[in-house]
Amino acid sequence: MPERTEAVEIRTALVRLRRATGLPVVFGGLLQDGRRLRIAELNGARSTALHGLAVGTGNGLGGRAVALARPCAVTDYASARHISHEYDGPVAVEGLRSVVAVPVVVRRRVRGVLYGGLRESSPLGDRILDAAVAAARDVEQALVARGEAREALVRVAEAWEPDGDGAGRPEDGGTGAPAVWEEVRAAHGELRALAPRIADPVLRAELLAVCGRLAAAGGSGGPGVPGVPGGAQGAGRCTLTPREVDVLATVASGATNAGAAERLGLRPETVKGYLRSAMRKLGAGTRGQAVVAARRAGLLP
C-alpha cells in the first residue's frame, strides 16, 4: 500500500512511545526503495531540522540500526565513536544528546526505524529500550496486517470476476459458485479479524465496507444451508455487535474458540461470551446454526 498510508502506523506508534516513556522527542520513518530511510514523522520536535532527512544504510545511528537490523543507542550523539556523523548538524539543531534507534523488521526485512531522544546526556535505560522495541513490534504487526488485508482483498476481487466457464459472480449460481463462495467467505473472515488491528481509520473503514458488501451479497443471493432453526426466521431484524460478527465470521471459517481468540486477539472466555450472545440474538442452538442464521440475515456472506 502507499507509503503515505503506511506512515499512519509509524505516527501512531510514536505517539504511544512518547506517552509510555515520557521521552521529549520521538521520530521515525519508512525505508524508500528498501535502501534509504526518510524521517517523515516527528512528535515533540522543536525544529524542522530532522523532518525529511534521508538516512543511508549504515550512516548515523538510524542507518546503523538498519544495517544491523537491531536496536542501537548512544549516550552522547556528537561524541559517539561507533557511528558515522553525517547528520550531526540536524541532531544538534534539535538539541538531542541521548538517542535510541529501533528498526521495524517485517519478514526479515527492515521497513522503517523509530527513534527516541533526550536533550541531555543520560543513559536511556532498559524501560525506554523495551518500550521502543515494543512500539517497533506494533508497527511490524500493523504492516503485516496491511499486507494480509491487501491479499484478502485481491482474492475477493479475483473470486468475484467471471472466470469464463459459466460460473460468473457467486450469486449467479453457476457451476463454480459453491467453491467461489468458500473463498469469499474465508477472505471475509480474514478481513473481519484484521480490521481491528489497523490503526489507519480510513483503511479500517474500507475493509469493513468491503465486509459489509460481501455480507449483503450473501444474504441476498448466496447459497443457503439447511438446518436453520425456526427462531432464525426473524434474524433479518437481528443486530449483532461488531465483535459478535467478528467471532461468527472466524467461527464460520472453521476456527475453534481458541483459534478465534488467537486470530482476534481476545481471550477464549471472551470469544465464548460473544458467541453465546450472538446465538441468543439469532435464536440458534449451535455454532453452526448461528453461522447459517447470520448468513440468512445478511450479516455474513
| CATH number, residue 17 | 3.30.450.40
CA dihedral 91, 94, 95, 96 (to 10 degrees): -50
* pLDDT band per the 50, 70, 90 thresholds, residue 25: very high
* 53 and 11 both lie in a single domain: yes
Range of the domain at 88: 3-142
In a domain, 152, yes or no: no
The whole-angstrom separation of Cα 45 and Cα 128 is 18
In a domain, 155, yes or no: no
* 136 and 171 both lie in a single domain: no
The whole-angstrom separation of Cα 273 and Cα 277 is 6
CATH of the domain at 247: 1.10.10.10
pLDDT at 268 over 70: yes
* 218 and 106 both lie in a single domain: no
For residue 99, which of 90, 108, 110 has the smallest C-alpha distance? 90
* 136 and 230 both lie in a single domain: no
In a domain, 151, yes or no: no
Rounded to two decimals, the pTM is 0.66
147-168: per-residue pLDDT in tens?
Answer: 887 787 777 777 666 544 444 4
Alpha helices, H only, the chain: 3-21, 60-68, 88-94, 125-160, 177-194, 201-221, 242-252, 257-264, 268-282, 287-296
Q: Percent of the chain beyond pLDDT 70? A: 84
* 102 and 205 both lie in a single domain: no
The Cα angle at residue 127 between residues 122 and 131, in degrees rounded to 5: 115
Query: Starting at the edge strand that comes first in sequence, how are the strands of the sheet with 54-56 ordered?
Result: 54-56, 36-43, 25-32, 109-118, 98-106, 72-74
CA dihedral 57, 6, 187, 295 (to 10 degrees): 160
pLDDT at 227 over 80: no
Three-class DSSP category at 10: helix
pLDDT at 236 over 50: no
* 135 and 170 both lie in a single domain: no
* 170 and 273 both lie in a single domain: yes
In a domain, 153, yes or no: no
* pLDDT band per the 50, 70, 90 thresholds, residue 207: confident
* 30 and 124 both lie in a single domain: yes
Structural domains counted in the chain: 2
In a domain, 171, yes or no: yes
In a domain, 150, yes or no: no
* 91 and 22 both lie in a single domain: yes
In a domain, 149, yes or no: no
In a domain, 148, yes or no: no
87-121: per-residue pLDDT in tens?
Answer: 999 999 999 999 999 999 998 899 999 999 999 99
